[in-house]
Amino acid sequence: MTTPATYWHETDSPVGRLLLTAGPDGAITSLSVPGQKGGRSVQDGWLHDAGPFRAVEEQLAAYFAGELTEFRLPLRAEGTAFRERVWAALDDVPYGATTTYGRIAARIGASRPAVRAVGGAIGANPLLILRPCHRVVGADGSLTGYAGGLERKTRLLALEGATVSRPAPLPATPR
């Protein structure tokens, strides 16, 4: 059985170089950034072709220019049923807004102890920016991990005009 072709293309953005992949049907399968935890890298046998990525490049340019608030692209991320539910819930977080891991867990009907698993699923999101995992913050409103790095997360949230509180660091405990 032959594996379906994977197409790839790189493009520049205000948050660095982006690696895009798509299946033969044109659905975007990943958007990765250099140094991304769990990010993709070009593999032998992948086909370099800018053609399948024209729409995503246009929409990313409009997003970074502040002119687009919702991507309308065919996306296909494959994961466990749990991860796919979490990723689908990310699609419902509006531009310029933030939510918490706990709210995502509640939205998909996961128990309170499953919040850590929700965090793991969000961290494994293969479609950075397009599927807005950067809009998920800690329960106290603080910035938390982002596979693309906290600097990129901060820039994306600032671009969207999202307000994020960063609690003051706790004083050192005397010894």
Residue 12: how many other CB atoms lie within 10 Å: 10
Sign of the C-alpha dihedral computed for residues 36, 66, 29 and 50 taken in this order: negative
Q: Is 11 a catalytic residue?
A: no
Taking a C-beta distance cutoff of 8 angstroms, is the pair 84, 77 a contact? yes
How far is the C-alpha of 49 from the C-alpha of 44, rounded, in Å?
14
Q: How far apart are CA 106 and CA 126, in angstroms?
A: 22
Q: Please say whether the beta carbons of 13 and 128 come within 8 A.
A: no
Rounded to an integer, what is the distance from CA 49 to the centroid of its chain? 23
Which of 133, 147, 156, 157 is an active site residue? 133
DSSP assignment of 124-163, as one string? T-SBTTTS-GGGEE-TTS-----TT-HHHHHHHHHHHT--
The residues that are catalytic are 133
